[in-house]
Amino acid sequence: MAATTLVNPFREGISLEGATHPVQLVIFGASGDLTRRKLLPAIYNLVQASLAPPAFSVLGFARQKMTDDDFRNLLSQAVAESGEVRVRDAQALERLRERTHYLPGDFQDAGAFATLKTMLDAFDKQYGTGGNRIFYTATPASLYGGIAAQLHHAGLITPPGGDGGFVRMIVEKPFGRDLASAKALNAELLRYMSEEQIYRIDHYLGKETVQNILVLRFANGIFEPVWNRRYVDSVQITVAESIGIEGRGNFYEETGVVRDVIQNHALQLMSLVAMEPPLSFDARDFRAEKIRVLEAIRPIAPDDVPRVAVRGQYGPGSVAGERVCGYREEPNVNPVSLTPTYAALALGIDNWRWAGVPFYIRSGKRLPKRITEIALQFKEAPHLPFRKSQIETPGGNVLALQIQPDEGISLKFDAKVPGPTMRIRAVEMDFTYGETFGSKDASPYERLILDCMKGDQTLFDRADGVEAAWAIVDPILAVWEADTKVAFPNYAAGTWGPPEADELLARDGRSWRRL
Amino acid sequence: MPGPDGTPPAPVAGLTAVPVTGIETAIAERWRALAHTMARPRAHARVMTMLVRVEDDAATFAVFDTVKQLAGKHPIRVISVGYNARLANGVRAWVNAGCAGDDPRAVCSEEIVLQGGQTAGDCLLSAVRGLLVPDLPVLLWWRGPDVGASPLWSGLAGLSDRIIVDSSDFGAQALQVLHRVVGEVGAGGRRAVRDLNWQRTAPWRAALATCFDDRAVLAMLDALDRAVITFSAEDASAPPSVRAQLVAGWLCRCVNGLQRHCSVVPGPHWSRDVGVGRVVSIALTSSRSKASLLLVRKVGPTRIDAQACEGTGGHIVRRWSFPAATLTEAELLDGCLSSLGSDPVFEAALQAALVLS
Ligand SMILES: NC(=O)c1ccc[n+]([C@@H]2O[C@H](COP(=O)([O-])OP(=O)(O)OC[C@H]3O[C@@H](n4cnc5c(N)ncnc54)[C@H](OP(=O)(O)O)[C@@H]3O)[C@@H](O)[C@H]2O)c1
């Protein structure tokens, strides 16, 4: 007899904004920075907005000795301090506190995982969570594989589709530190669970405005026809931060700007701007297109690295009116460090849509301001009948998609200055999400944890997607790490990076947008 | 105080009296004046025109309070329209424009109030017609019981894409009136009707749906063949509340065979704590076993507690507690603003409720 799938008849027409399946969320690294600053406020927001399922509990796991009450107090404190909390609701916080627990233990200790299993089984009965579990790795990246192995040995990973409830694992970035280690980590995770259980998170994809790139492109008829090599001259992606490394010297020395931002956030943005329209916005179609465009990015041969990539490191300077030290003077940083805090790349995409259109990417610390934007520079009008007129700033139209801090879209075009003579000046038409939709966005972590609860992998990376992104930056990292004859620092804090970054574009007859 | 030309005083503080022909200019001037006080110049985004039919002077304050909350969340042009017995003829207008919240999340809205004498229906409509924001959706919030009967109704409804009514205002024949309005307005498929009273049942529907998301509970559904919806009432002879009837209709539409054993009953003892007409419990039981699902409203904090019992021994197998704070009128409207198109589930529930009644 064919198995019949039971369908809940009451669901029709009822918003599925919230997660519906009961679940326990286990946070590895519950005493850490990410948990306190991002995860606990996001979880609170989900509970407060009734988006988390009614049958829900949280269990924190880390080495630090804490009782349930200590961890609950940490939760209350995290909620009190967070700027991402939308509504301060004592009852909702209490509801969450009652369902929050803590287990002290070492991730290398199999005994701790046996205890974890006993606790989770007991909470299943207490909270009616039906064996559904999400494991979140908010730990040093070197521990991700080991945690998966321990979970497996403790019998905490059941295959999908079985009777034992679902098991999903959210894996934080960084996912590997180069192509080889990313492949090794993928292989290790896939030894214990299937791809559909792995949620590789890049919180950039959880941002409303990043998702809106897709809506702008694929829900409007007017943009897509000009979104190609015929009309677009070049694309600039800027991920600029004005802050330095904020005391995380150990972390940054190991990471640098390429691993921290370019390999993940910047390439995510590039893939969204450049991808072909997916058949649908479901995980399979959307991720397939995103990965396809990453794979079409022209591989960089080692000899080409000096021509297409520029690195930088900030020296002392001043940002927003304050004097700041150079990178090498930051705590826990090697005084002769060669870690890049700035990178600029010129990439090309080998497909019909983008052949010949350069994608310039830049990211850095201690730049003049915090801004993330994607700008499409359109080609100039083929013929200007206003030859005798005063044109203030010649140049084509620019469509800029600003991701942060003020999410919005602006279009630069030329307009006539009112008056008896023909004078032309560029004007900018600005659209800001905040002014149109007012309400405060959900934080990216909130959105992505909720998606994981719902089993929606659309906004998470697939194994081959992570590897494709590493394959792009791997040669650059290899060349830079081998070449130690670089004169760092080469840009002053508070400036837009080293002069070589300007030359990268000047060679092509272009310049960076003045932001 | 009346204005120099005999214009009645502004219906609420903050509005400026203007001639009807000067409304757009007055709003544009207001924006220009505000631009000087803003951190940076802005382009105004607008997402829709919202027409509000204000049933009488006394309602004006309540309407404005609700509209203020909405205007703080959506950049809309609100045009409220109503009769004013003190106006002999012609139409009077007042305007305001402003932003709520801090840059860059300040939401900027425009409010226009139009009032006319009892015979000024056509003039009011003509004024409204000239003030709609081009190309954007028009939403009509019709307040009051006289839906269909007022001369303004067909004119305003004809200009709108979506119409919001509140069937709790409709009195004894509420289901029939609602059905007529849905039929009239929805004909042709361009316009849709939303009912705030149906919107108020959303927490119950969401709670029930979540209970049945649990596979063990869903497996019991076949056995559940009886339903009782209890509503808060002043006495045991109270006629069924339309809200409870809509929930009953929805249940019957979702579960085949429930029609014959689905009842809506008054719960007089509830009226101490809960407003009359509101749903206070839903019980789904089985004629064949001890399986049941019971949802009950609780107060302090306001919530819906639910429990499912298995069929053999009647033991509790699942419990839930759903927060269910009472929704304000502004929140209910917000829900209507956010959802697009018609609501086939509501329309089917209404049909089923009519059959049951
Ligand atoms: N912080 C951020 O904003 C951010 C943003 C994006 C991605 N991430 C990534 O998220 C991960 C966590 O970052 P973080 O900043 O939260 O790091 P963190 O502050 O150093 O926290 C690490 C956590 O892991 C626990 N831990 C480490 N080794 C352990 C072991 N052997 N057994 C048990 N617990 C152990 C620590 O517990 P004890 O202290 O109790 O030992 C601590 O709770 C990192 O991979 C990071 O790259 C962080």
With bands split at pLDDT 50, 70 and 90, how would you rate the model's confidence at A439? low
Q: Do B45 and A431 touch (CB under 8 A)?
A: yes
- B128 is a domain residue: yes
Measured distance CA(B255)–CA(A10) in Å, rounded: 9
- B343 is a domain residue: no
Q: Which one is predicted more confidently, A208 or B291?
A: B291
Buried b / exposed e over B206-217, threshold 16 CB at 10 Å, is bbbbbbbbbeeb
Nearest to B108 among A128, A408, A435 (CB): A435
Position A307 pLDDT exceeds 90: yes
Position B3 pLDDT exceeds 60: no
Among B105, B211, B218, most A C-beta atoms within 10 A, so best to mutate, is B105
**Residue of A35, A71, A139, A248 best suited for mutating to test ligand 1, as the one with most atoms within 8 Å of CB:** A139
Out of A320-329, A353-362, A464-473, B10-19, pick the least confident. B10-19
B204-252 residue pLDDT tens: 999 999 899 888 899 999 999 999 999 999 999 999 999 999 999 999 9
With bands split at pLDDT 50, 70 and 90, how would you rate the model's confidence at A396? confident
pLDDT value of residue A440: 64
- Domain check: are B156 and B269 in the same one? no
Position A434 pLDDT exceeds 80: no
Position B120 pLDDT exceeds 90: no
Å from B204 to nearest chain A CA?
Answer: 11
Out of A78-87, A435-444, B258-267, B275-284, pick the least confident. A435-444
Q: Which one is predicted more confidently, A479 or B321?
A: A479
- Domain check: are B101 and B231 in the same one? no
ipTM: 0.79
Name the average pLDDT for chain B.
86
Measured distance CA(A397)–CA(A379) in Å, rounded: 7
Position B25 pLDDT exceeds 80: yes
Å from B123 to nearest chain A CA?
Answer: 32
Q: Do B205 and A434 touch (CB under 8 A)?
A: no
pLDDT value of residue A430: 79
Out of A344-353, B186-195, B255-264, pick the least confident. B186-195
With bands split at pLDDT 50, 70 and 90, how would you rate the model's confidence at B265? very high
Angle at the Cα of A384 from the Cα atoms of A381 and A388, rounded to 5 degrees: 155
Residues of A in contact with B221 (CB under 8 A): 6, 9
Average confidence (pLDDT) over A34-54: 94
pLDDT value of residue A4: 46
* Per-residue CA distances from B288 to B214, B310, B311 (Å): 21, 12, 8
- B2 is a domain residue: no
Average confidence (pLDDT) over A1-5: 42
Structural domain count, chain B: 2
With bands split at pLDDT 50, 70 and 90, how would you rate the model's confidence at B117? confident
pLDDT value of residue B140: 95
Domain A205-506 indexed as CATH 3.40.80.10: no
Position A131 pLDDT exceeds 60: yes
pLDDT value of residue B6: 59
- B350 is a domain residue: no
Query: Given the DSSP bridges, would you call strands A423-432 and A390-391 parallel, antiparallel or unpaired?
Result: parallel
Range of the domain at B309: 200-323
Measured distance CA(A505)–CA(A237) in Å, rounded: 13
With bands split at pLDDT 50, 70 and 90, how would you rate the model's confidence at A3? very low
For A49, residues 6+ apart whose C-beta sits below 8 A from its C-beta are A18, A86, A87
In this complex, is the C-beta atom of A435 within 8 Å of any C-beta atom belonging to chain B? yes
Give the range with max mean pLDDT: A391-400, A436-445, B157-166. B157-166
Q: Which atom of ligand 1 has the smallest separation from the CA of A173? A: 7
- Domain check: are B216 and B147 in the same one? no
Question: For chains A and B, what is the number of CB pairs under 8 angstroms?
Answer: 96
- Domain check: are B129 and B205 in the same one? no
Average confidence (pLDDT) over A107-135: 94
Q: Which one is predicted more confidently, B342 or A150?
A: A150
Out of A126-140, A172-186, B269-283, B327-341, pick the least confident. B327-341
With bands split at pLDDT 50, 70 and 90, how would you rate the model's confidence at B4? very low
Judge contact between A35 and A138, C-beta under 8 A. Answer: yes
Position B44 pLDDT exceeds 90: no
Position A118 pLDDT exceeds 90: yes
Q: Which atom of ligand 1 has the smallest separation from the CA of A38? A: 3
Out of A170-184, A194-208, A282-296, B316-330, pick the least confident. B316-330
A409-432 residue pLDDT tens: 889 888 887 788 887 877 888 787
- Domain check: are B127 and B220 in the same one? no
Domain locations in chain A? 23-174, 205-506
Å from A210 to nearest chain B CA?
Answer: 18
* Per-residue CA distances from B253 to A404, A493, B115, B197, B344 (Å): 46, 66, 43, 18, 11
Q: Do A54 and B301 touch (CB under 8 A)?
A: no
- B188 is a domain residue: no
Assigned superfamily of A23-174: NAD(P)-binding Rossmann-like Domain (3.40.50.720)
For B353, residues 6+ apart whose C-beta sits below 8 A from its C-beta are B175, B245, B246, B248, B249, B250
| Contact A173 CB / ligand 1 (< 6 Å) | yes
pLDDT value of residue A1: 37
Name the average pLDDT for chain A.
92
Catalytic residue at A265? Answer: yes
Position B52 pLDDT exceeds 90: yes
| Contact A254 CB / ligand 1 (< 6 Å) | no
**Residue of A26, A27, A33, A116 best suited for mutating to test ligand 1, as the one with most atoms within 8 Å of CB:** A33
Q: Do B323 and A92 touch (CB under 8 A)?
A: yes
pLDDT value of residue B43: 59
Position A5 pLDDT exceeds 60: no
- Domain check: are B29 and B140 in the same one? yes
Nearest to B101 among A22, A91, A438 (CB): A438
* Per-residue CA distances from B199 to A440, B86, B327, B335, B343 (Å): 23, 35, 9, 8, 11
- B168 is a domain residue: no
| Contact A248 CB / ligand 1 (< 6 Å) | no
Average confidence (pLDDT) over A45-50: 92
Position B39 pLDDT exceeds 80: no
